[in-house]
Chains A and B, each alone.
Chain A
Amino acid sequence: MKNENILVIEAGRAEKHYWVDLWRYRELFYILSWRDIAVRYKQTVIGVLWAILRPLLTMAVFTVIFGKLAKLPSDGNAPYAIMVYAAMLPWQFFSSSVSEASNSLISNTQLITKVYFPRIIIPISSLVTSFIDFLISFAILVLLMVYFRFTPSWNVFFLPFFVLIAFLAAAGIGLFITALNVKYRDFRYIVPFIVQFGLYISPVGFSSSIVPEKYRLLYSLNPMVGVIDGFRWAILGGEATIYLPGFLMSIGVMLGFLVLGIYKFRKMEKTFADVI
């Protein structure tokens, strides 16, 4: 007998082996991520192009409106376009992650009602798809920098750290909304609103340094403020500065959301198969 472990199923028992199961099902995680990516880029002409065009066009519009028309200052001497694009990267990743994740369970209803696996795999693997888009957009950033002859500083080596923060922020808020979306189906109408609203209250089209000093801590309650500032600091080097209390505040809020998201998801997860 290969496996002498005895599995006990009881009400409320699933808790105990959840994280072990998550590890055991890691192959499923890889393959679901792979499926999402494969399907996304199959039979769609503009699949990859879309990942390039969206941030580029948004960047162009923001640069014209905020930089040229409103004449907002950039961070230091960095070209306005690169400053916007550096924020565009985490923002696009965040917004597409949240919207993909929130729909992921519903579009995988078939799996949830027919097979057991830790459900958290589904929204997280949908983050991976968004992450691929992020990587593609990142390649464009490199081209932009070459075009503007902008040399990054050593700060750029901290970028992976900020990418991780962006990932965790997306995961926390994504999981929270995903759980609510299964229970309350009209939540999907709220998600696009949150995403759109978030674009304006996050410092995507402008530098967060234009926010008055006394409001900056309050402003940093938005976890994306910390993430975006971090990205700018890493990419623009000495041109952008990090407002440390605000950054820590954003990280705190982000971690809070992560815990809340996982907690809420775990709590609702048991009933997903029954309510979906």
Chain B
Amino acid sequence: MSDVVIKAEGIGKSYLIGHEPKGKDKYVALRDVIADKTKGLWSKIRNPSLYEHKDIEEFWALKDVSFEVKRGDRVGIIGRNGAGKSTLLKVLSRITEPTRGRVSIKGRVASLLEVGTGFHPELTGRENIYLNGAILGMTRQEIKRKFDEIVDFAEVEKFLDTPVKRFSSGMYVRLAFAVAAHLDPEILLVDEVLAVGDIGFQKKCLERMQSVSNDEGRTVFFVSHNLDAIVSLCSKCILLVDGNSIFFDKVGSAIDAYTTNNLTVKNPVNFENVKGFGDMIGGRLLEFGVFDAKGAPASSFSMWDVMQLTLGVFIENLKIRWQISIAVMDKSQRVVSILNSEWSDADLNLKAGKNIIRVSIPKMDLFPGTYSLTPMLRQEGIVSTHKINNAFTFEITEPQTKRGFLNISKYSTGSQVWVNHVWEKTDGEIK
């Protein structure tokens, strides 16, 4: 147990994004605040109900990230753009606070999210080593002790007293990385910084990171789009998908999962370690899967495709009249539709213990876009007993008709639900 150096439990980070009219500054100006407040006051007087509406949307960059990392592990973090990789590193390095969840860290953390953070172009190489070292958390004594080593590693001894603004970009990167590589933290967080710099030096850096973790038992987190670097450096891997994490003990399987196009999240999703919402008395959700017509796990469907949802539910109390429902939500977390066992008149015949419930959707009548599913277990008339927000995210793509792929999205109608209908030409009068 004592070997666990970082333990993350359900970290989530949300940002508020405002939808301002185009062309406006992204900064908040006091002038606007005053203007808006005044406007708001006026409309509040005239029309109180409208006031509730705000152009601010909550965006969860990280939804539910949990993992345990042991001393000496080299953990790769992979995922698509916007999956939350950088946000995760920012939370771990304390640059930004998580909105929910908790991380316990044992040992000193140093983060290298950018090459040469705080380098000042006017200062010399020597001065910048001290400056950068201090910024990364080294004491002056430490830097003094390692100074020669750093200069050696960076291969810049001739230019130590030249302002770094005259350095070539290669020298600049080497110097910056050399400082970082000589940090003595128990945990090192490295973001995509090796993308710059020549290949020989990149290799040297990878070796250095490998050796500090092997010989000195350091823990390294490494974010990269370069899968080869991940394979050669890392021993464990975290795959981030839309702000959710999947931890892999083997890098190979993480890469497989990442490169297999369809698998954007573990499917079926298991809720055993997810708390969700609700008291979970008398019953709880266990797992949730999304499948295509053939029963294969899928997360991308054409419009009008067959979709099958499977839900594992654990029931203890049979006396309660249980309702199972699944909310379909759009990107802005608005409920588009609700599938509810009660309203469908379903006779599920639940038994005590584990039940597997299947919901078949013969035709998914949603317009192209990204949607998410929130399964709920609830008692009639009462708030949900167990609910997992956005348990699964899926995508509806353009449908193929006789005339090829439609391109509905380009009309940006804002339409989400397709109403089943038929067009035909009739004879005679309107009636």
- Residues of A at the B interface (CB closer than 8 Å) are 1-14, 27-28, 30-32, 35, 38-39, 42-43, 110-117, 180, 183-187, 190, 270, 273-275
Tell me, yes or no, whether B90 is within 8 Å of chain A by CB.
yes
A112 to B94, CA, bound (A): 11
- State whether the Cβ of B113 lies closer than 8 Å to any Cβ in chain A: yes
Docked-complex contact A35 and B29, CB < 8 angstroms: no
CA distance A185 to B25 in the complex (A): 10
**B28, B94, B139, B140 interface centre (most CB from chain A within 10 Å):** B94
- Listed from nearest, the 8 A-B pairs whose CB atoms lie closest are A184-B30, A116-B94, A185-B27, A31-B134, A9-B103, A186-B29, A7-B105, A114-B117
Q: What residue in chain A is nearest B12 (Cβ atoms)?
A: A11
**Interface size range on B against A:** 35 or more
Of the candidates A9, A112, A183, the one whose C-beta lies within 8 Å of that of B102 is A9
Q: Is the CB of B98 within 8 A of A11?
A: yes
Say yes or no: A185 contacts B140, CB within 8 Å: no
Task: Determine whether the beta carbon of B95 is less than 8 Å from that of A115.
Answer: yes
Q: How far is A240 from B239 in the complex, measured between Cα atoms in Å?
A: 71
Which of A14, A42, A115, A190 has the largest count of B CB atoms less than 10 A from its CB? Answer: A115
Q: A186-B29, A273-B90, A273-B96 are in contact. Are A110 and B105 (CB under 8 A)?
A: no
Residue in chain B with minimal CB distance to A275: B28
The answer to the question of B373 belonging to the interface, with a C-beta cut-off of 8 Å to chain A, is no
**What chain B residues lie within 8 Å of A14 (beta carbons)?**
94, 97
Indicate whether B33 reaches chain A with its CB closer than 8 angstroms.
Answer: yes
Q: A27-B140, A274-B15 are in contact. Are A114 and B31 (CB under 8 A)?
A: no
B248 smallest CB distance to A (angstroms): 23
Does any Cβ of A come within 8 Å of B252's Cβ? no
Answer whether residue B91 sits at the interface, using C-beta atoms and an 8 A cutoff: yes
Chain A residues contacting B106 (CB-CB under 8 Å) are 1, 3-7
User: A185–B30 Cα gap in the complex (Å)?
Assistant: 7
A274 contacts which chain B residues (CB < 8 A)? 15, 96
Which B residues between 85 and 118 are near A, CB-CB below 8 angstroms? 90-109, 111, 113-114, 117-118
Q: Taking the nearest CB of chain A, how far is it from the CB of B137, in angstroms?
A: 8
> In the complex, A11→B99 CA distance in Å?
5
With most chain A CB atoms within 10 A of its CB, the pick from B90, B95, B122 is B95
The contact of B107 among A3, A32, A117, A190, by CB within 8 Å, is A3
Contacts of B225 in A (CB 8 A): none
Contact A184 B102 (CB under 8 A): no
Q: Is the CB of B97 within 8 A of A11?
A: yes
Inter-chain CA distance A204–B123, complex, in Å, is: 37
Using a CB–CB cutoff of 8 Å, the interface residues on chain B facing chain A are 15, 25, 27-31, 33, 90-109, 111, 113-114, 117-118, 120, 122-123, 127, 130-131, 134-137, 139-140, 186
Residue contact B118 to A110, C-beta cutoff 8 Å: yes
Partner of A186, one of B30, B120, B122: B30
Give A47 Cβ to nearest chain B Cβ, in Å. Answer: 12
* Contact yes or no, A111 B135, CB < 8 A: yes
17 examples of A-B residue contacts, CB within 8 angstroms: A8-B102, A9-B92, A9-B104, A10-B98, A10-B102, A11-B98, A11-B100, A11-B101, A14-B94, A27-B140, A31-B135, A38-B123, A116-B95, A185-B27, A186-B29, A270-B96, A274-B96
Q: Once the chains bind, are B94 and A35 in contact (CB under 8 Å)? A: no
Chain B residues, Cβ within 8 Å of A43: 122
For B31, what are the chain A residues with a Cβ–Cβ distance below 8 Å? 186
In Å, the complex CA distance between A275 and B134 comes to: 25
Q: A115 and B117 in contact (CB under 8 A), knowing A11-B98, A183-B28?
A: yes
Residue of B nearest to A187 (CB): B30
Q: How many Å lie between the Cα of A9 and that of B111 in the bound state?
A: 15
Q: Given A1-B107, A11-B99, are A184 and B122 neighbors across the interface (CB < 8 Å)?
A: no
How far, in angstroms, from A14 to B98 measured CA to CA in the complex? 10
With A7-B104, A28-B135 already in contact, the answer to whether A35 and B30 are too (CB < 8 A) is no
Nearest CB to that of B92 among chain A residues? A9
Contact status of A27 and B139, CB under 8 A, knowing A6-B106, A185-B29? yes
Roughly how many angstroms separate A32 CA and B109 CA in the complex, as a whole number?
A: 20
With a cutoff of 8 Å between Cβ atoms, the chain A residues found around residue B108 in the complex are: 2-3
Asked if A9 contacts B97 (CB within 8 A), the reply is: yes
Complex interface: chain A residues within 8 A of B130 (CB): 31
Separation of A183 and B33 alpha carbons in the complex (Å): 11
Complex: A31 Cα to B30 Cα, angstroms: 33
Q: Which residues of A contact B100 (CB under 8 A)?
A: 11
B134 lies within 8 A of A27 (CB): yes
Q: Do the beta carbons of A113 and B33 come within 8 Å of each other?
A: no
- With A3-B106, A43-B122, A115-B111 given, name 14 new contacts (CB 8 A): A6-B106, A7-B105, A9-B92, A9-B104, A11-B101, A27-B134, A35-B127, A35-B131, A111-B135, A113-B95, A114-B111, A180-B30, A184-B27, A185-B28
Partner of B95, one of A42, A114, A183, A185: A114
A8, B122: Cβ atoms closer than 8 Å: no
Residue of A8, A27, A39 with most chain B CB atoms under a 10 A cut-off: A27
B99 engages A110 (CB within 8 Å): no
Question: Which residues of chain A are within 8 angstroms of B107 by Cβ–Cβ distance?
Answer: 1-3
- Are A184 and B97 in contact, with the CB atoms below 8 A? no
Give the residues in chain A near B98, CB-CB below 8 Å.
9-11
Q: Which residues of B contact A187 (CB under 8 A)?
A: 30
Q: Which residues in A have their C-beta under 8 angstroms from that of B94?
A: 9, 14, 116
